Amino acid sequence: MSNVLNWQLGRAMEYPYEAAYPDQQFAFIFNINRCIGCQTCTMACKSTWTFSKGQEYMWWNNVETKPYGGYPQHWDVKTLDLLEQANPGGQNWGGKPEDIKAPYGKFNGKTVFEAAKTFIGPEGANRALGYLPADDEWAAPNRYEDHPVGAEKGVKGQYFKGGELLPEHKTWFFYLARICNHCSYPACLAACPRNAIYKRPEDGIVLVDQERCRGYRKCMEACPYKKTYYRGTTRTTEKCIACFPRIEGKDQAGHGLPLQTRCMSSCIGHIRLQGLIELNQDGTWKEARHNPLYYLIHVAKVALPLYPQFGTEPNGYYIPPRWVSRPYLRQMFGPGVDDAVEKYSAPDRELLAVLQLFGKDQRICHRYEIKEGPKVFETEVRGKKFVLYNDTIIGYAKDGTKIIETTVEEPLHVRDAKHANSI
Amino acid sequence: MPKDEFDFEDPFELNGMVVQSRDDTTREMAETFVEEFMRMSYSHKQILALFRNPHYLGPNLALQKHGEPSVRDLIAEVFARWGKVVTWPEHSSNRYEAAESPTLATGNRNAAGSAAMAEMDSAAIDPMGSPIPKLNV
Q: How confident is the model at residue A267 (pLDDT cuts 50, 70, 90)?
A: very high
The minimal CB distance from A157 to the residues B12, B37, B134 is found for B134
Average pLDDT of A309-323?
A: 97
Q: What confidence score (pLDDT) does residue A165 get?
A: 63
Contacts of A56 (CB under 8 A, 6+ apart): none
Q: What confidence score (pLDDT) does residue A295 get?
A: 98
Would you say residue B116 has pLDDT above 50?
no
Per-residue b/e over A173-206, b at no fewer than 16 CB within 10 Å? bbbbbbbbbbbbbbbbbbbbeeebbebbeebbbb
φ/ψ bin of A193: left (φ > 0), alpha (ψ from -120 to 50), beta (otherwise):
alpha
Query: Per the CB < 8 Å rule, is A36 touching B56?
Result: yes
B22-37 pLDDT, tens digit per residue, is 677 889 999 999 999 8
In whole angstroms, give the CA distance from residue A236 to residue A232. Answer: 7
Average pLDDT of A84-95?
A: 94
Q: What confidence score (pLDDT) does residue A135 get?
A: 86
Q: What confidence score (pLDDT) does residue B131 get?
A: 54
Query: Per the CB < 8 Å rule, is B4 touching A390?
Result: no
CB A282 within 8 A of CB A295: no
**Best mutation site among B8, B24, B25, B41 for testing chain A: the one with the most A CBs within 10 Å?**
B25
Q: How far is B68 from chain A (nearest CA, A)?
A: 17
**Best mutation site among A266, A323, A421 for testing chain B: the one with the most B CBs within 10 Å?**
A323
Q: How confident is the model at residue A160 (pLDDT cuts 50, 70, 90)?
A: low
Helix (H, G, I), strand (E, B) or coil at B131: strand
A197-227 pLDDT, tens digit per residue, is 999 999 999 999 999 999 999 999 999 999 9
Average pLDDT of A193-199?
A: 96
The minimal CB distance from B25 to the residues A150, A164, A172 is found for A172
Would you say residue A87 has pLDDT above 60?
yes
Q: What confidence score (pLDDT) does residue A261 get?
A: 97
In whole angstroms, give the CA distance from residue A240 to residue A275. Answer: 16
Percent of chain A whose predicted confidence (pLDDT) is above 70: 93
Q: What confidence score (pLDDT) does residue B7 get?
A: 55
Contact list, A378 vs chain B (CB under 8 Å)? 108
Would you say residue A325 has pLDDT above 70?
yes
Average pLDDT of A10-27?
A: 96
State the complex-level ipTM.
0.77
Query: Per the CB < 8 Å rule, is A379 touching B83?
Result: yes
A128-152 pLDDT, tens digit per residue, is 999 999 988 888 788 767 655 556 6
CB B97 within 8 A of CB B104: no
Determine the residue type at A403.
Answer: I
- A116 or B5: whose pLDDT is higher? A116
Restricting to B residues 58-87, those with a Cβ less than 8 Å away from any Cβ of A are: 58-59, 61, 65, 81-83
Contacts of B131 (CB under 8 A, 6+ apart): B123, B124, B125
Contact list, B40 vs chain A (CB under 8 Å)? 34, 270, 412
Q: How confident is the model at residue B108 (pLDDT cuts 50, 70, 90)?
A: very low
B90 DSSP 8-state letter: T
Percent of chain B whose predicted confidence (pLDDT) is above 90: 18
Q: What confidence score (pLDDT) does residue B126 get?
A: 56
Would you say residue A190 has pLDDT above 90?
yes
Average pLDDT of A285-289?
A: 96
Determine the residue type at B65.
Answer: K
Q: How confident is the model at residue A420 (pLDDT cuts 50, 70, 90)?
A: confident
Contact list, B19 vs chain A (CB under 8 Å)? 67, 171-172, 325, 328
Q: What confidence score (pLDDT) does residue A67 get?
A: 87
Contacts of B54 (CB under 8 A, 6+ apart): A149, A159, B60, B135, B137
Would you say residue B98 has pLDDT above 80?
no
Angle value at C-alpha A174, between B25 and A420, nearest 5 degrees: 120
Q: How confident is the model at residue A378 (pLDDT cuts 50, 70, 90)?
A: confident
Q: How confident is the model at residue B107 (pLDDT cuts 50, 70, 90)?
A: very low
Please state the pTM of the whole predicted model. Answer: 0.86
Average pLDDT of B40-63?
A: 86
Mean pLDDT rounded to a whole number for chain A: 91
Q: How far is B31 from chain A (nearest CA, A)?
A: 9
Q: What confidence score (pLDDT) does residue B111 get?
A: 33
Q: What confidence score (pLDDT) does residue B127 get?
A: 52
CB A222 within 8 A of CB A112: yes
Q: How confident is the model at residue B60 (pLDDT cuts 50, 70, 90)?
A: confident
Q: Write down all domains in chain A, each with its CATH number in brackets.
A: 2-139+174-362 (3.30.70.20)
Q: What confidence score (pLDDT) does residue A117 get?
A: 84
Q: What confidence score (pLDDT) does residue A410 get?
A: 80
Q: What confidence score (pLDDT) does residue B18 get?
A: 57
